[in-house]
């Protein structure tokens, strides 16, 4: 599902997919965003402002709603 959304929102939203177990930069970013459980989605606006997160498996509908609200 996420792969499909990545393609669909290409040019509008940048997706950064990080494996919490293997990607070196994941640990620092998880600390920064307070991510204590995976999967978690963190949303940032174009100005870098933290626009919230979704913890746990998100539905496509839930993700789309959040993505569409990002500016």
Task: Provide the binding-site residues for other proteins, judged by CB under 8 A.
Answer: 2, 11-22, 26-48, 51, 55-56, 67, 70-71
What is the SS3 assignment for 52?
Answer: strand
CB of 60 to other proteins, least distance (A): 13
What is the SS3 assignment for 36?
Answer: coil
* Partners of 23 in the β-ladder: none
CB of 24 to other proteins, least distance (A): 10
Rg, C-alpha atoms of the chain = 12
CB of 45 to other proteins, least distance (A): 5
């Amino acid at each position: 599902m996420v792969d499909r959304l990545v393609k669909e929102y290409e040019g509008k939203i940048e997706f950064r997919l990080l494996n919490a177990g293997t990607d070196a930069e994941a640990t620092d970013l998880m600390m920064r965003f307070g991510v204590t459980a995976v999967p978690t989605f963190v949303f940032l606006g174009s100005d870098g402002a933290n626009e919230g997160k979704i913890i746990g498996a998100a539905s496509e509908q839930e993700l789309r709603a959040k993505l569409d609200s990002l500016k």
